[in-house]
Amino acid sequence: MDMVRDIRTSKKNVIILFIVTIQIPLLLLMAAQSFSVNIGDPFPSFSEPNNLSSDECFSLGIECGEEFSIDDLVQECIVMEFLNVYCHTCRMQVEVFNDLFHAIEKDPVLLEKACVFGIAVGNSPEEVDEFKRDFGAVYPIVADPEKKVFNLTGNTEGTPHTYILRKEEINFVIDYHAGGVSSMDRYLSRIKLSVRGSFTGTEPGNKAPGYSFNSGGMVFDEKNFAGNRLILYFPADRKFSLEIDTRNTENQIKVLYKILNKFPGITVILFKSPGFSPDLEKKYETPSFYFGEPADKEVAETFASPDKPSIYYINQHGRIAFKGDAITLYNAQNILETVEYKPSPPMNERDVIRLIDERIKKLGRKVFTTEKFIMENGEKIYVTALSPERNRAFLFSRFESKPSLCDVCHDSHFIYVLDPEGKIVDFIPVSMTKKDNILWSEKDEQKIKSLIVGKSIFDNFPFNPRVDAVSTATMTSSLVFESLNQGKEIFGKFKDYQFRSDHWKKECFGNICKIEQKAEQMKKVNKNFVFDDAALNALVSEMKIPGCPQGGLLLVVDGKVLCSFHGFNTAGCRGKTADK
């Protein structure tokens, strides 16, 4: 901590929170509150016996008393990471959070306004000290031996978990995710966004922007509804082809009435679109349901989408806890009972991993281990390491939970599995329903598999409802194709665990070919040109070539470019790669 003491000359604001548990399994079960802390919620206050050193307390800008309390922190943005000292993923995160800690320290603005720290769930101070020593963690880690802090979250899954809080009148959760990440970038960008101001916006976790509307000859704005739970609805004039699609305006209005009947404390505000039918207002007018004309064009520009409906749930704290194209009664029960709605998988993390392992074994592969992994873009996947170790290979599973757009339908949950080159090798319908919410049959599963297995996730997946849909499950089937089309973006830049190693190697060698051809051109123009490391770096900068996509260092050896990750391009360059 000498470096920290030298850098900080006054009470500073950087905190890293890790929560570590004594159990070796990644998933930790707990009996706690019946609800979980979600985006838009206040994070509960807590204190623990202080196991931090005087240097660590100084780095957090707090007094080093007998108790550590989150209320003593004065930073505007607090990053809390719950981890387990025996969790493999948590150990891998040490470098990520070391990087985040140092990045905040090097930025004068963030140093004053942001903080990061760890909480070790179920671990003693001695175990924390050993963890810090063995894995080189430079950030403060508070011991939570009885899991008191962890239990406050209402979370039943385990570690690692990350909460990002914004300290206003109380600590509000503005971001959350479970699992590890491959870099600090996701956290750092969120921190920078948070400290810019009041964090007003239209994404979940944001403070809702202001709005105003005219209704019944009166003008209303957000101040009239302060402290209330609201649904803001911006219908679209577009007509969706399926009659039962909740995105169609009258269908959505019917659902909103059901929500009002089930949750009387809710207020609904519908902002009329240019083509909104006056007959709908006459037909459905009722207290707690406002039909309003936006008071100015900024309201629609801020909240509405040009070609589809937009609907928001704003909690009593004025935070957006849900944003979507539509909301069903089934969705609303989850939103209003757990504050922030996300389609919940019908099984816990341990059962998901067990299901993935069983299916991969049926493919004739031997499973060594499967773990959850958070990609650099924030998306969650499951990585399966196959045996034997000397020829280690990996498979990649993506669990998709899609909210239903049909008011009487259930959410859809399924898994697709990719090989190292991105080819789909399996499709697992976890909970897929058709008419009357009947679960898909094995025949239904085989139909979808026949359409997608063997294709690359980077292919296009057009959906023809007449040909591709499972009988009486058109909307559910479409969600599979929708997810696969999104997969190319999710996996597009993924490089860990040897994923698409040949692809990235070819891209690296392609870049090398461009550099070498440019060097040859330079030699023809200037006989005194020397192609060495300095010239290489100058060419890379001039040509704006990214170099090795997997982070390899480029060097010049005997006039040829060597990548420290991929080696020499022994296949040579074909075609005019330098001109592409």
pLDDT of residue 12: 39
pLDDT of residue 314: 93
**CATH assignment of 2-194?**
3.40.30.10
pLDDT of residue 109: 86
pLDDT of residue 345: 86
| Class in CATH terms, 212-338 | alpha beta
User: What letter would DSSP give residue 70?
Assistant: G
pLDDT of residue 336: 75
Q: Sign of torsion, CA 146 152 158 164?
A: negative
The pLDDT tens digits for 411-421 are 899 999 999 99
Region for residue 9 given its phi and psi (left: phi exceeds 0; alpha: psi -120 to 50; beta: otherwise): alpha
Quote the CA–CA distance of 130 and 132 in Å, as a whole number: 5
Quote the CA–CA distance of 569 and 555 in Å, as a whole number: 12
pLDDT of residue 15: 43
pLDDT of residue 181: 87
Q: What is the pTM for the complete model shown?
A: 0.47
Q: What number of other Cβ atoms are within 10 A of residue 270's Cβ?
A: 25
pLDDT of residue 425: 98
pLDDT beneath 50, residues of the chain: 1-34, 339-341, 405, 407, 576-580
Distances in Å between the Cα of 252 and the Cα atoms of 46, 290, 508 are 41, 14, 50
pLDDT of residue 389: 75
Q: How would DSSP label each residue in 291-305? A: EEEESSHHHHHHH--
The pLDDT tens digits for 278-317 are 999 988 888 899 999 998 889 999 999 988 999 999 988 8
CATH 3.40.30.10: which residues of the chain?
2-194, 212-338
pLDDT of residue 518: 93
